[in-house]
Amino acid sequence: MPQGLSAFMQDATIVSSMVPSAVLVLAVGVFVAAGVYLILERSLTRVLLGFVLIGNGVNIMLLLAGGQAGVAPIIGTDNGESMSDPLAQAMMLTSIVITLAMVAFLSAMAYRSWQLYGHDEVQDDIEDARVARHAHRGEAAYTDLDAMDLAWTLDDEAAEVHDDYDIDDGAAAEASPVVAVASPAAPPAARFGASRQGGQQ
Amino acid sequence: MNLWIPSLWTSATLVPLPVLLCLTGAGLALVFQRHPRAQRAIAMTTLILMVLVAALLLVLSDRGAIVAVIGNWAAPVGIALVADRLSALMLLISSIVLVCVLWYAMAQGIGDGSNIGRSEAERQDLLPVAIYHPTFLILAAGVANAFLAGDLFNLYVGFEVLLAASYVLLTIGGTRDRIRAGSIYVVVALVSSLVFLAAVSMIYAATGTLNLAHLALRLPDIDPSVRLGLQLMLLLAFGIKAAIFPLSAWLPDSYPTAPAPVTAVFAGLLTKVGVYSIIRTQTLLFPSPDVGSVWVDRLLLVLALFTMVVGILGAVAQDDIKRLLSFTLVSHIGYMVFAISLADGQGAENLGATAAAIFYVIHHITVQTALFLVVGLVERRGGSTSLDRLGGLAKLAPGIAVLFFLPAMNLAGIPPLSGFLGKVGIITAGAQVGHPLAWVLVVGSVVTSLLTLYALVKAWNKAFWQDAPDDVLVEKAGDKAPRGMYAAATALVTVSLALTVFAGPVHNYAGRAATGLIDGRSYVEAVFPGGTENADDTGVRDQEVADDDGFDEEVHQGAGVKGTGAQGADHG
C-alpha cells in the first residue's frame, strides 16, 4: 500500500475498506483478456463483441474504484459509515450508456458493411498498399514531367519558345535531339501545343 | 429570492454556454429536419454565438480562470467547468474554424468530389444532409466540453460526444469507401476511449477524486510508480487521439475519404483536442520533476522525433493531396509533442516551450483546416485530388492557387508567416533546454520543415504549376465551385494570415496562458477559492483570490449552497 494512499484513507470520510472483491477483479481480467482477443479479429461483429467485453470489464473496474460494497447511498438510510460510493456508480452508469450507444453504432456499421461488401471485415488501407507496391517496384510515387529525362536541353526549349527554330524544316527536326525522345515524353512542340490548345477550350 | 437573480449572471454563467448553445442548436436543428433553410440558420446562429461567448471568455479569463460549478455545488462535489486562458484561446480559435467550415459546407451542400457527375437530386439522395447540421453542432459541443472540462470524467464525456459525432460525420452517406475507412477509425477510437476510461477508473481508485484541481493536490502524495503508471495510461489514450507515432497509422487512412469540410474540421480540431488534453494533464497533474517524469519526457521527445520524421516521409511518398496533407498533419503533431515534452519544469525555457506549444497548436488548427478546405475546392475544380490527374490549375483557377499557396507556405514555415514563428519558438525552446536529445529534436524539426516544403512544393508543381497530363482534360472536370466555398476558405486563410500579423499579442497571450499552466496553483486556487486545505468543504463563496501574475481573479459562484449529504462524492 503506497504511503500517500494510506494517509489519504485515514482522512476519508467513509470508513469502507478499499480492498475490492477478488471475484470482481478476476472478472475484469477475464473480460478484458477475452475482449482483447476478439478485438484483434478482422470481422466487425467479433470486434463488436470484444468491445462489449472490454467495456464491461472497464465498467466493473469503475465499480471497483469505488471500494467495497455498502448500503445504498441515500441520505437517511445510514449514518454514512457503510454507504457505498455513489460517484463510482454514477460514472459506471454513464459509461454503460455511452457503451450502449457505441455498440448500436458499431452494429449498424457492421450491417452496412455486410450490405455493401457481403462481409463485415475490416480492410487494410488500399491506398497504402498501392503506394507500397510502387515503392517495391522502385517506381516514382507519381509521374513527374519535370523530372523526366526528355533528351532535349533547355536551349532547345528556349529556342522553341522564342520561335526562331524552324520546326517545319524536316532536316533540322531530324538532326535535333527531339526525335530521339522516347515515349511517353512528347517533343516539346507537341506538348506545349496540345496543352495550350487545351487551355483555350 | 431576488438576491439570486444578479448572482446568476456572472462571468461564470458564460462558461457552460458554448456547450449548452451547441447542444440546444443540435436539438433544434433535429426538430427542423425537413426545413433545410431553418436548419442552416440555426446552425450558423449557434456557432456565431459560440464565437462571441468564446471571445468574451478570452477577455475575461485573462484576469484569472473562471470557474463554473454545475448545480452550484462547490468543487470537488459539483462538476467544475474551468475557462482559463488556454481553454478560452482554444475555444475561440475552434469556434472560428467551426464557423468557417460550416459556411463552406453550406455553400457546398455536402455533395463532394466523389459525387461529380451525379445530378443534384442524386447527391441529395446519397447524402443525408438533414443529419449533417445537428451532428456538426454536437461535434462542436463535444469539443467545447473537452476544452472546458475541469474534471477528468467530464473530459472523457466530452471526448465521447465529439467522437460519436465524428463517427457519424466520417461515415456520412454510408458509401463503400467511407464504411471501409470508417471501420478502422471507429475501432481505433473506441479502443482509445476504453483505455481512457480504464485510466479514469484507476486514477479514481488511487486518489478518490477526478476533479483536475483536486487531482493536482492529491497526485503528488501517491506512490511515484503508481503515478507513473497513471500518467502513461493517460498518455496512451491521448496519444491515440492526437495521432502520435506509433499510434498514428489510423489517421491518414480514415481522414481522406470523408467530404472536404468533414476532413477539414477533423484535421483542425480532433487531434488538437488530444494535444490539448496532453498539455493540460502533463502540466497540471504531472508537473513534478521526479525520475519517472523525466523519463516520460525523454520518451515523448523520442516519439515526437519519430512522429515528425515518419509522418513527413509518408507525405513525400503520397500522390494524393488529401493523403499528403493527412501525413503532414501527423508530422506536425510531432512539433507540438516536442514542445510539450520540453515544458516540464519551472524554468524560463519551460515557460517558453509551453507558450510555443500553445502558439503552434493555434497556428496549426487554422492552417491545416484551411488547406483541407482549399483541397476541397481543388477537388471541385480539377475533378480529382490525385496529383497524377491534376495540372494547370494556376492558369485555370488562380484564386484557388493563391489560397493553396499561402497556407502551404505557412505550414512549411516560410518567414514571416505564423508557421515560421511557431517553429522558431519551439526550436528556441529546444536550444535553451540544451539537452543532447533536445538538439537532435531541433535538427529533426528543421529537417521536417524542409521536407514539408518539399512535399508541398511538389504538390503545388503537379497540381497548379505544371501542365496537365495530356490524357486529362481539366475543363471536363468539375464546374466552378459556389462562391460561398471560396469565401469561407478565403476567410480561414485570412484568419491564419492574421495570426502572422497579430503574432505578438497572440504569443503574449499564449505566454500568459503558459505562466498559468506552469505554475498550476492559480488553476487550483480558482477551483478552490476557499483555500486548498479545506478543499472538501462546501459553502458560500464570492471572493477574489490574488493571482500569482498579479492579476485579480474573480470567482463568482453564486450564493447560498449547503454541502449537506455531499460527502459521498469525495472519499476513497
Query: What are the pLDDT digits (tens) for B122-168?
Result: 454 455 567 888 999 999 999 999 999 989 999 999 999 999 999 99
Q: What is the pLDDT of residues A136-151, one digit of tens each?
A: 777 665 555 555 555 5
Cβ-in-10-Å burial (0-12, 13-18, 19+) of B146 comes to buried
Residues B319, B270 share a domain: no
Q: How confident is the model at residue B221 (pLDDT cuts 50, 70, 90)?
A: confident
Please list every residue in chain A whose beta carbon sits closer than 8 Å to the beta carbon of residue B204. Answer: 62, 65-66, 87-88, 91
Residue whose cell numbers read 503533431: B333
Kindly determine whether residue A143 and residue B388, on different chains, have CB atoms separated by under 8 Å: yes
Distance CA B461, CA B469 (A): 12
Confidence band (pLDDT; 50, 70, 90) for B483?
confident
For residue B124, the enclosing domain spans: 1-287+526-553
Q: Could you give the number of structural domains in chain B?
A: 2
Residues B81, B562: contact at Cβ < 8 Å?
no
Tracing cell 473537452 back to the chain, one arrives at B146
Pair (B275, B381) in one structural domain: no
A78 beta partners: A75
Amino acid at B209: T
A192: closest chain B residue by CA: B467
Burial class (CB in 10 A: 0-12, 13-18, 19+), B96: buried
pLDDT at position A88 over 60: yes
pLDDT confidence tier of residue A181, bands split at 50, 70 and 90: very low
Going from the C-alpha of B256 to that of each of A102, A121, A128, B102, the distances in angstroms are 23, 20, 12, 18
Please report the pLDDT score of residue B325 as a whole number.
Answer: 93
Question: Is-contact A80 A138, C-beta < 8 A?
Answer: no
pLDDT reported for residue A198: 39
Q: Which residue is associated with the grid cell 440546444?
A: B24
Q: Is residue B328 situated within a structural domain?
A: yes
pLDDT tens for B12-30 read: 888 889 999 999 999 999 8
pLDDT mean over B400-412:
92
Do B123 and B181 reside in the same domain of the chain? yes
Asked if residue B540 has pLDDT above 50, the reply is no
- Kindly report the nearest CA distance between residue A170 and chain B, in angstroms: 25
Instruction: Check whether residue B452 and residue B357 sit in a common domain.
Output: yes
Q: Which of B494, B519, B544 is the endpoint of a domain?
A: B519
pLDDT value for B13: 82
Worst-scoring range by mean pLDDT, A84-98, A131-145, B215-229, B396-410?
A131-145
Under 8 Å CB-to-CB from A161, ≥6 apart: which residues?
Answer: none
Say which residue, B137 or B297, is predicted with more confidence.
Answer: B137
Cross-strand bridge partners of residue B80? B69
Per-residue pLDDT tens digits for A42-59: 888 999 999 999 999 999
According to the model, what pLDDT value does residue B442 have? Answer: 93
Q: What is d(CA B199, CA A58) in angstroms, rounded to the nearest whole number?
A: 9
- Evaluate whether residue B363 is within a structural domain: yes
Identify the pLDDT of residue B24: 94
pLDDT of residue B361: 94
Same domain, B404 and B546: no
Q: Are residues B535 and B505 in the same domain?
A: no
The pLDDT assigned to A87 comes to 86
| Shortest CA gap A171–chain B (Å) | 27
CB contact under 8 A, B204 and A73: no
Output the nine-digit C-alpha cell for B285.
Answer: 497533474
Count of residues making up chain A: 201
Confidence label for A21 from pLDDT (cuts 50, 70 and 90): confident
What is the spatial distance between Cα B137 and Cα B151, in angstroms, rounded to a whole number? 22
Q: Do B92 and B236 fall into the same domain?
A: yes
Residue B114 has pLDDT above 50, yes or no: no
Among B519, B536, B565, give the residue marking a domain's end. Answer: B519
Choice among A61-65, A179-183, B249-253 with the minimum mean pLDDT: A179-183
Cβ-nearest to B466 among A2, A125, A145: A145
**B211 and B269 belong to one structural domain:** yes
pLDDT of residue B131: 83
Are B196 and B156 in contact by the 8 Å Cβ rule? The answer is yes
B189: pLDDT confidence band, cut at 50, 70 and 90?
very high
Instruction: Evaluate whether B110 touches B102 at the Cβ level (below 8 Å).
Output: no
At residue A10, does pLDDT exceed 50?
no
Of A135, A143, A191, Cβ closest to residue B317: A135
Do B532 and B510 fall within a single domain? no
CB atoms within 10 A of CB B491: 16
In this structure, what C-alpha cell is assigned to residue B109?
A: 451542400
Q: Is the pLDDT of residue A66 over 50?
A: yes
Same domain as B97, residue B63: yes
Mean pLDDT score, A106-132? 82
Same-domain status, B261 and B149: yes
Cell numbers linked to B174 = 454510408
Taking contacts as CB-CB distances below 8 angstroms, the residues of chain B near A131 are 317-319
Note the pLDDT tens digit of each residue in B455-468.
999 999 888 888 77
Q: Where are the domains of chain A?
A: 3-117, 141-200
Q: For residues B419 and B414, what is the distance between their CA atoms, to the nearest angstrom?
A: 7
Residues B189 and B163: beta-carbon distance below 8 Å: yes
Which residues, in sequence order, are CB contacts of A129 under 8 Å at separation 6+? none
Q: From the CA of B317, how many Å to the nearest CA of chain A?
A: 6
What are B298-346's pLDDT values in tens digits?
A: 899 999 999 999 999 999 988 888 999 999 999 999 999 999 988 876 6
- B294 lies in some domain: no
User: B553 vs chain A: nearest CA distance in angstroms?
Assistant: 30
Most distant CA pair in chain A, distance: 110
Distance from CA of A159 to the nearest CA of B (A): 19
Q: Residue B318 is nearest to which of A85, A131, A191, comparing CB atoms?
A: A131
Looking at the DSSP bridge assignments, the partners of residue B68 are B81
pLDDT at B198: 94
Q: Does B205 touch chain A (CB under 8 A)?
A: yes
Instruction: Report d(CA A132, CA B403) in Å as an integer.
Output: 31
Percent of chain B with pLDDT over 70: 84
Q: Please tell me whether residues B492 and B533 are part of one structural domain.
A: no
Closest CB to B190: pick one of A91, A102, A145.
A102
pLDDT (0 to 100) of residue B3: 45
Chain B positions in Cβ-Cβ contact with residue A86 (cut-off 8 Å): 568-569
The whole-chain average pLDDT of chain B stands at 82
- A117 pLDDT above the threshold of 50: yes
The whole-number pLDDT of residue B11 equals 78
